[in-house]
Amino acid sequence: MNFKIALIRGDGIGPEIVNETVKVIDRVGEKFGHTFTYVDVLMGGCATDTVGKSYPDGTAELCRSCDAVLLGAVGGPKWGSDKPAEQRPETALLAIRKDLGLYANLRPAALRPALADACPLKKETAEKGIDLLMVRELTGGIYFGKRDKYQTEDRGVEATDLMAYSEMEIERIGRRAFEMAMLRKKKVSSVDKANVLETSRLWRATMHRLAAEYPEVQYEDVLVDNCAMQLVRDPGQFDVVVTENMFGDILSDEASMITGSIGLLPSASLGSTAPALYEPIHGSAPDIAGQDKANPIATILSAAMMFRYSFKLAAEADAIEAAVDKALADGYRTADIAHPGEAVIGTRKMGEVICNNI
Ligand code: NAD
């Protein structure tokens, strides 16, 4: 099969980690008999420098002409908050998510066996293993609701942010979560604050309706405060965790940290139609850019998600994940995941080792 992949290399370490990932994708192609056409898409600070805006005209159309989008990272101090919105890389990130309709953000948080000692939790908790998938609603809720700030007569300035969710928005993210669970351990934990919030009561009622359609999936409601606690007490209990935008923002960072390094964690953002977007959860790490120090694993594992969810090629995805696990089990470490005194390799060497493992 031939697949067309949009590459947004971006800023900072973006180009370095995308380069290594492309090598891995090509190696999978050789091994499994696929070919790939790459379309370079200019976006982020580098686009501001080249054409004067971070999200050049036609970016979304170019991405839509591809089967999937792979993003390194965008941003850096050069294009800070003192710059006009159209020059800031973050503007481009929000725009691409909106234009591609990417309402579902998937973040697996798995403790890779060779790095169990990187888990900050109690040893006996880590030993039980962590392998959960956070499914976060990405285009609704309080981050997108109406906001206001006004002067009151007796209480100074007051500000409001509106949290709104429709049944349609809840149902489509819920369905995504149940479908993911069917491919995994068949458990969904739906996180809300139904004891307080009206949006959460609608969320819960909608999830219950969906749960009836997936009798094979074990379903539970979890209050968000309890979920935050359970994630550090016993994360092994979770399979798929689905929640609204703001709760998901906070809980997915918590889930990431319990598995160790930021340089290891991939993500996928999916809409109703292709293309989906795949990216590491970390940023552009300007402090180590261009020094062959960045860990490419999060981006390489994002490519594995691309094979699994966009190309529906599970064996290829498994092969990438196994190649990463073997590199780690064989003791290869970039600086971010090395213990003091341990030998360290660079971005390119890590890419090469993983390629050779496929
Ligand atoms: P960051 O994730 O870029 O870096 C945080 C720390 O982690 C740094 O010390 C960095 O060196 C390290 N790190 C990150 N990725 C690494 C990797 N792959 N290998 C080794 N070490 C790694 O977060 P930040 O410093 O807060 O942000 C830097 C820039 O990235 C900002 O401009 C921010 O807006 C942007 N950003 C972009 C995205 C994105 O493109 N999706 C996401 C988050 C932040």
DSSP 8-state secondary structure symbol assigned to residue 223: E
Residues 158 and 278 in one domain: no
Predicted pLDDT at 211: 98
Domain boundary among 210, 239, 258: 258
Beta-strand (E) ranges in 250-337? 266-270, 276-280
List residues near ligand 1 (CB under 6 A).
13, 73-76, 90, 93, 262-263, 279, 282-288, 294-295, 298, 336
Catalytic residue ranges: 143, 193, 225, 249, 253
| Residue 348 burial by Cβ neighbours in a 10 Å radius (0-12, 13-18, 19+) | middle
Distance CA 31, CA 27 (A): 6
Domain check: are 105 and 181 in the same one? no
CATH of the domain at 346: 3.40.718.10
Please list the rounded mean pLDDT of every run of 10 residues in the chain (358 residues). Answer: 97 98 98 98 98 97 98 96 93 92 94 80 86 94 92 97 97 97 96 98 98 98 98 95 96 86 90 96 95 97 97 97 96 91 96 98
169 to each of 138, 176, 186, 203, how far by Cα in Å?
A: 10, 11, 22, 9
Distance 10 CA to ligand 1 centre (A): 12
Q: Cα separations (Å) of 101 from 45, 138, 268?
A: 23, 9, 13
The SS3 call for residue 117 is helix
Is residue 31 within 8 Å of residue 310, measured between CB atoms? no
The structural domain count of the chain equals 2
Do 176 and 227 have their domain in common? Answer: yes
pLDDT of amino acid 167: 98
The distance of Cα 210 from the centroid of its chain, to the nearest Å, equals 24
Position 261 scores a pLDDT of 75
Residue from 81, 94, 262 whose mutation best tests the ligand 1 pocket (most atoms within 8 A of CB): 262
pLDDT at 108: 94
Question: What was the pLDDT predicted at 295?
Answer: 97
Cβ neighbourhood burial of 113 (10 Å; 0-12, 13-18, 19+) = exposed
Tokens of 144: 């997108």
* Per-residue tokens: 31: 């091994």
Residue range(s) defining the domain that contains residue 146: 120-258
Choose the final residue of a domain: 229, 258, 287.
258
**What are the residues whose beta carbons fall under 8 Å from the beta carbon of 196, sequence distance 6 or more?**
none
Q: 29 with 81, same domain?
A: yes
Within this chain, do residues 339 and 241 fall inside the same structural domain, yes or no? no
pLDDT of residue 128: 85
Query: The pTM is what?
Result: 0.90
- Phi and psi angles of residue 262, each rounded to the nearest 5 degrees, phi first: -65, -25
Separation of CA 286 and ligand 1 centre (Å): 7
Do 29 and 159 fall within a single domain?
A: no
Region for 52 from its dihedrals, namely left if φ exceeds 0, alpha if ψ lies in -120 to 50, beta otherwise = left
Best mutation site among 16, 282, 345 for ligand 1, i.e. most ligand atoms within 8 A of its Cβ?
Answer: 282
CA 284 – ligand 1 centroid, Å? 4
Q: Measured over all CA atoms, what is the biggest interatomic distance in the chain, rounded to whole angstroms?
A: 71
Say whether both 128 and 242 belong to one domain: yes
Our mutation pick for probing the ligand 1 site, out of 249, 269, 284, counting the most ligand atoms within 8 A of Cβ, is 284
Query: What pLDDT score was predicted for residue 174?
Result: 98
Say whether both 139 and 219 belong to one domain.
Answer: yes
DSSP 339: P
Q: Are residues 72 and 170 in the same domain?
A: no
Q: What pLDDT does 64 receive? A: 98
Return the ligand 1 atom nearest residue 285 CA. Answer: 3
The verdict on 157 and 249 lying in the same domain is yes
Cβ–Cβ < 8 Å for 13, 288: yes
Q: 283 and 167, same structural domain?
A: no
Q: What integer pLDDT is reported at residue 58 of this predicted model?
A: 96
Is residue 142 domain-shared with residue 252, that is, in the same domain? yes
Which of 239, 258, 277 terminates a domain? The answer is 258
Q: What's the pLDDT at 118?
A: 76
